[in-house]
Chain A
Amino acid sequence: EDQVTQSPEALRLQEGESSSLNCSYTVSGLRGLFWYRQDPGKGPEFLFTLYSAGEEKEKERLKATLTKKESFLHITAPKPEDSATYLCAVRGMDSNYQLIWGAGTKLIIKP
């Protein structure tokens, strides 16, 4: 069964303290792994798509990496405005459209 597990559930960091969020997945052939950011009271906002192991993508203080079993979202020198819930989702070979979503990691950056 396709599955996505995100850890930790919540992470509190001081401003400037770098860390990583984890997304472990089990899927029958990966067609894509997606990272989204969700602010309170808003819809998920697309960040990155990764398609194959070894791929990396960056955007400002965020960098996403992918292996055959997991993805990491590295956040470097975070600022309070990076506080949000970060969601991971995967699409497997069995579906042309269905995304399997993780429960998310709530990130809090304290000034």
Chain B
Amino acid sequence: DAGVIQSPRHEVTEMGQEVTLRCKPISGHNSLFWYRQTMMRGLELLIYFNNNVPIDDSGMPEDRFSAKMPNASFSTLKIQPSEPRDSAVYFCASSPRSYSYNEQFFGPGTRLTVL
């Protein structure tokens, strides 16, 4: 079975540009999470979707960040405009049950560098 798929794997952009990260969760999973990982702050939950509906976006740093899940097999995380402090690895994870009492399965991540 294919795991969580993320694209692109690496993104280098200049400050002020729009960045869109993409995620395809594992088929049949109805919980989806976007995380950001940095050396300083570790793993931070940005937003959680359940059955395609955003449940908790309190971790989104500011209005420059937005996320959508138009269907069960696709989600995007957009940063506009991007800033150097947004440089990090962004992970998407999915879980087979609502509200994820169980394990989360992570994608390979997108390494974002904002110059």
Contact = CB atoms under 8 A, between A and B. Distances in A.
A49 B106 contact: no
Given A43-B91, A43-B108, A104-B42, A96 B103 contact: no
A91 to B, nearest CB: 8
A31 interface: yes
Contacts of A31: 101
Interface residues of B, number: 24
Interface string B81-112: 00000000001010000011111111111010
B30 to A, nearest CB: 12
Interface in A7-54: 31-32, 34, 36, 41-46, 49
A99 interface: yes
B99 A46 contact: no
A96 B100 CA distance: 7
B89 to A, nearest CB: 9
What does DSSP make chain B's interface, helix, strand, loop or mixed? strand
A33 B99 CA distance: 15
A49 B93 contact: no
B106 A44 contact: yes
Interface string A40-70: 0111111001000000000000000000000
B57 to A, nearest CB: 13
B93 to A, nearest CB: 7
B75 interface: no
A49 B102 contact: yes
Contact of A97 (B56, B103, B107, B111): B56
Contact of A98 (B42, B45, B105, B106): B45
Contacts of B104: 46, 99
17 contacts: A31-B101, A41-B108, A42-B108, A43-B4, A43-B106, A45-B106, A46-B103, A49-B103, A87-B43, A89-B43, A91-B101, A96-B100, A97-B33, A97-B99, A97-B100, A98-B45, A104-B42
